[in-house]
Each structure stands twice: as structure tokens, then as C-alpha cells.
């Protein structure tokens, strides 16, 4: 069905996944009020089901080898922003440093607000999946998930938990917050995996 | 681009509200109603096959295949500019099935709606649903200009609404309209000991500021937010 009078501007760019448009701003889309978290009070806790396996704080994280990634980010609400620069520690590196092997194939990642989103262990351990503390060389602002945000750049951005503070290894894959509201369990932008069903 | 869950739709009404807002109504084929607060994606298709899709809050009453959207003109916005400058009655688009199960009207506790600018859009749908039940609610709307107080005369008349409009960039002397930006004193007369369901929608900065204020006052209430843009 052609819309009369619409000519559009072709996003002639193979970096744009299907159904996305290029956005130069950095939209904020949260379903809840923004928490204010001080870095000195931040912890990341790692669980297997209910069992706590490890807990690290900011002092430990900031002294780990820094990873810098520059990636295109794709939001399920259709915007894509190119070349976003994040710095932090890769999840894989963190686990090496604390000498912990991932015990299952499935994780639920979470925020201090109670937000959750599932990420398969293999995706969490990709080189470009990082626990980020800076965006464009500045601390991540609270509304964008700071001080610490998980960045999973190859999936839709709802998979990158803001105010990141937990990893729970699960025995099987389960949906988190948005997945339980009808979003796709995996969320690959190149396959347009926005919603379930 | 996957448009499998999209419906053929035709513009049946277009109203330019001011230089930033217009309201467009579509007749949508095979529409199965929506839950107040949900949004849809509107897809425009050019002759060369190029498509542009953007999400918009549904701003009309449920249980009707006439579906309305409040569209804010975005600078260099591909879809909003089309609707503002070129669209005409009879134009055809695709509209997705309703989406979203989080920012929807729960209708379990006393509702409070807080909005700025085009953030009134989801509350146009929620209010219509509550009006049908004659259920009471409170509506706060901040607009830069008087003409941006969408649905002002209807909201002012309905007996089940406690309506608080604010205009921040015009000097008017109109009874019942406030002129200051949001602050905690706007909620002084609401009993915070009663559990409410509070919905906040608008620009990122407005939602950030409002939710900071509201969460300190309404400790027992649930707060839901929806933000437009950066």
C-alpha cells in the first residue's frame, strides 16, 4: 500500500537493520523513575539460582583491564544510533579475574530497580559485551542507566540493563521484564525479533 | 521489513492544533480495539518501496475502529513532517496492532495522570475509557501555550475529572489555569496516604523531574512513566 505524497529518504545504509531509522539524538525510554546510585555503593552480585557465587564492588571493577567498544545501537522502538562509544570491563574478563566459570547456559541480568532481561550465557560472554561505566568518555548519566550499565550491543537495546547490578545463572531460559510483556526472548535486530508472536 | 501485523488504514480526519501538534484519525481495517495507554506503529510506504515506521500513543477511545493519534512535529522528522505538511483525508497508511502492556490503564486504584505537551496522548485514551464509567481521576497537563492544552474545553466540563491545566510560556489571565512549572505544591491537596496509580508521560526532562517529585510524596502508589524522545 503506497502512501500518496510520501517519498521518504532512503536510509541507503547497510548498517541499518530492517525497520530502523538513523537517530542522531540519544532517546531515553524507561518504564520507571530513574534511581540515583552512588558508585561507592554499587555492587554486582552473581548468583546461580538463589545461591550467591560472587560479589564485586566499584573499587574492584575500576581496576580491571578496560575495554572500549564503538558500536551501532538499535532500539526496539525503531531508532538506531551509530558509533556509540562505551568503556568498561568485558563480562568475560571479569569472570576470568574472579576465576569463575559460567555454571549454566542461561542468565537473567538485572537492575537495582528490579528490571530484568534474559541474555544467553554465550551472548553475555562475547568480547563486546561489557559492564560499562562510561559513554563518550563521560560517566553514564542516570537516565541512560548510569553509573553502570550492561551493554549487549548486538541485541536490541532493552537487553542492555540499566543500573546493572546482578547476573543470575538459570537452569533454563526465562523471560525478564519486557519479555513477559510480549517482547522477543532473544532480540536480534537483524532478524527483527521485536515481539513474541 | 516485517509488516505482517499491520492493518490497512485511511485518514478520515486531520486537525492542526498549533505549529507543533496535529491530531489525525484513521479508519482502520480489522481493528480489534486497544487497551488505553497502548501505542501503535504507523508505516508510510513510498512508491519505490521505501518504508518509514514510527511509534505513536493511541489517543482515542477503545472499542472503535476509528483510531486517533496526536502527532508532534519533530525537526527533520520524516513521518511527523509528512503528517503535518502533506497528509490529506483519504491517504492510506499501515497501522500496527496495538503494542505495549506496561504503560496501560490498570484501573485498580485512583488514577492520576501527569503530562507535558504531546505527553497527553495516552491520557486522551485513558480518560475516554474512564469517562464512560464515570470514574473519577485527576489530570495535570503542562503546555507551553494555551492552544496546546489538547481537549481543554471537554476536560474542563467533565464532572468526574479534577483537571489542572498549566501554561508556561504565555501570559494569560484565565481562571483555572496555572502558570508555573511542576512542583510538589501542585499535589498538596491529594491525600498521599491513599494508594493511587500514577502515570507520567512527556519529554524526558519532564518525566525525570516529575517522577522525582511524585515518588517522594506518594510513597504507597505505583508510578508508571513513558518518555518521548531525548
Per-residue pLDDT tens over the stretch B5-36:
899 999 999 999 999 999 999 999 999 899 99
CB contact (8 A) between residue A78 and residue B8: no
What's the mean pLDDT in A96-103?
Answer: 98
Residue with cell 532517546: A27
CATH number of the CATH domain containing A107: 3.90.420.10
Specify if A41 maps to a domain: no
Residue in A with minimal Cα distance to B93? A3
CB contact (8 A) between residue B54 and residue A25: no
pLDDT digits (tens, 9 = 90+) for B120-171: 999 999 999 999 999 999 999 999 999 999 999 999 999 899 999 999 999 8
Specify if A133 maps to a domain: yes
Residue in B with minimal Cα distance to A143? B208
Specify if A26 maps to a domain: no
pLDDT digits (tens, 9 = 90+) for A145-174: 999 999 999 999 999 999 999 999 999 999
**A117-A121-A123 Cα angle (round to 5):** 80
What's the mean pLDDT in A40-55?
Answer: 97
**Residue A158 and residue A175 in contact, taking contact as beta carbons nearer than 8 Å:** no
The number of folded domains in chain A is: 1
A190 against A27, higher pLDDT: A190
Burial B12-39 (b: 16+ CB within 10 A, else e): eebeebeebbbbbbbebeebeebbbbbb
Query: Model ipTM?
Result: 0.80
pLDDT level of residue A34 (50, 70, 90 thresholds): confident
A190 in contact with chain B, both atoms CB, cutoff 8 A: no
Q: Output the pLDDT for position A197.
A: 66
Q: Output the pLDDT for position B3.
A: 83
Specify if A90 maps to a domain: yes
Specify if A132 maps to a domain: yes
Instruction: Decide if pLDDT at B230 tops 90.
Output: no
**Rounded alpha-carbon distances, angstroms, from residue B149 to A95, B18, B55, B139, B156:** 54, 10, 22, 12, 11
- Full domain range(s) for residue A177: 57-191
Closest residue by Cα to residue A97 from A155, A56, A36: A56
Q: Percentage of chain A with pLDDT > 70?
A: 98
Question: Whole-model pTM?
Answer: 0.88
Specify if A24 maps to a domain: no
Burial B188-211 (b: 16+ CB within 10 A, else e): eebeeeeebbbbbbbbbebbbbbb
pLDDT level of residue A13 (50, 70, 90 thresholds): confident
C-alpha cell at B82: 509528512
B216 in contact with chain A, both atoms CB, cutoff 8 A: no
Q: Output the pLDDT for position A172.
A: 97
Q: Output the pLDDT for position B75.
A: 85
CB contact (8 A) between residue A31 and residue B99: no
CB contact (8 A) between residue B44 and residue A3: yes
Q: Output the pLDDT for position A31.
A: 74
**Rounded alpha-carbon distances, angstroms, from residue B200 to A51, B136, B182:** 37, 17, 12
Q: Output the pLDDT for position B175.
A: 86
Q: Output the pLDDT for position A12.
A: 63
Specify if A177 maps to a domain: yes
Q: Alpha helix locations (H) across chain B?
A: 78-81, 121-133, 152-157, 204-217
What is the phi-psi region of residue B151: left when phi exceeds 0, alpha when psi lies from -120 to 50, beta otherwise?
left
What's the mean pLDDT in A118-126?
Answer: 98
**Residue A73 and residue A80 in contact, taking contact as beta carbons nearer than 8 Å:** yes
Q: Output the pLDDT for position A10.
A: 63
Specify if A51 maps to a domain: no
Q: Output the pLDDT for position A32.
A: 77
pLDDT digits (tens, 9 = 90+) for B72-114: 999 888 999 999 999 999 999 999 999 998 999 999 999 999 9
Q: Output the pLDDT for position B174.
A: 85
- Distance CA(A95)–CA(A56), nearest Å, equals 11
- Distance CA(A44)–CA(A91), nearest Å, equals 11
Amino acid at each position: 500500500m503506497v502512501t500518496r505524497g510520501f517519498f521518504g529518504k532512503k536510509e541507503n545504509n547497510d548498517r541499518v537493520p530492517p525497520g530502523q531509522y538513523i537517530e542522531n539524538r540519544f532517546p531515553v525510554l524507561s518504564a520507571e523513575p530513574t534511581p540515583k546510585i552512588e558508585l561507592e555503593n554499587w555492587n554486582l552480585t552473581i548468583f546461580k539460582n538463589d545461591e550467591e557465587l560472587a560479589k564485586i564492588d566499584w573499587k574492584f571493577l575500576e581496576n580491571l583491564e578496560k575495554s572500549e567498544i564503538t558500536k551501532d545501537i538499535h532500539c526496539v522502538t525503531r531508532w538506531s544510533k551509530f558509533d556509540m562509544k562505551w568503556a568498561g570491563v568485558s563480562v568475560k574478563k571479569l569472570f576470568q579475574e574472579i576465576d569463575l566459570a559460567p555454571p549454566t547456559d542461561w542468565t537473567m541480568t538485572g537492575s537495582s530497580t528490579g528490571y530484568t532481561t534474559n541474555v544467553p550465557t554465550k551472548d553475555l560472554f562475547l568480547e563486546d559485551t561489557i559492564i560499562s561505566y562510561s559513554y563518550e568518555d563521560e560517566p553514564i548519566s542516570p537516565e541512560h542507566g548510569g553509573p553502570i550499565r550492561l551493554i549487549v550491543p548486538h541485541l536490541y537495546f532493552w537487553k542492555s540493563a540499566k543500573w546493572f547490578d546482578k547476573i543470575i545463572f538459570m537452569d533454563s531460559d526465562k523471560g525478564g521484564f519486557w519479555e513477559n510483556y510480549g517482547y522477543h526472548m532473544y532480540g536480534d535486530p537483524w532478524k527483527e525479533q521485536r515481539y513474541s508472536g | 521489513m516485517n509488516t505482517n501485523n499491520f492493518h490497512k488504514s485511511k485518514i478520515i480526519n486531520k486537525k492542526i492544533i498549533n505549529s507543533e501538534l496535529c491530531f489525525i484519525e484513521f479508519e482502520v481495517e480489522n481493528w480489534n480495539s486497544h487497551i488505553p495507554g497502548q501505542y501503535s506503529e504507523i508505516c508510510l510506504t513510498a512508491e519505490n518501496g521505501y518504508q518509514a515506521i514510527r511509534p505513536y500513543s493511541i489517543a482515542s477511545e477503545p472499542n472503535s475502529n476509528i483510531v486517533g493519534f496526536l502527532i508532534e512535529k519533530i525537526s527533520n522528522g520524516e513521518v511527523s513532517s509528512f503528517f503535518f505538511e502533506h497528509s490529506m483525508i483519504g491517504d492510506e497508511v499501515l497501522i500496527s496492532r496495538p503494542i505495549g502492556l506496561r504503560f496501560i490503564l490498570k484501573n485498580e486504584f485512583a488514577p492520576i495522570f501527569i503530562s507535558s505537551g504531546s505527553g497527553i496522548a495516552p491520557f486522551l485514551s485513558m480518560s475516554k475509557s474512564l469517562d464512560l464509567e464515570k470514574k473519577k481521576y485527576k489530570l495535570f497537563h503542562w503546555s507551553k501555550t494555551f492552544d496546546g492544552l489538547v481537549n481543554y474545553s471537554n476536560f474542563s466540563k467533565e464532572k468526574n475529572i479534577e483537571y489542572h491545566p498549566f501554561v508556561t510560556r504565555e501570559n494569560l489571565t484565565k481562571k483555572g489555569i496555572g502558570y508555573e512549572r511542576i512542583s510538589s505544591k501542585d499535589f498538596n491537596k491529594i491525600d498521599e496516604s491513599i494508594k493511587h496509580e500514577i502515570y507520567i508521560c512527556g519529554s524526558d526532562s519532564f518525566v525525570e523531574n516529575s517522577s522525582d517529585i511524585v515518588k517522594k510524596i506518594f510513597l504507597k502508589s505505583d508510578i508508571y512513566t513513558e518518555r518521548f524522545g531525548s
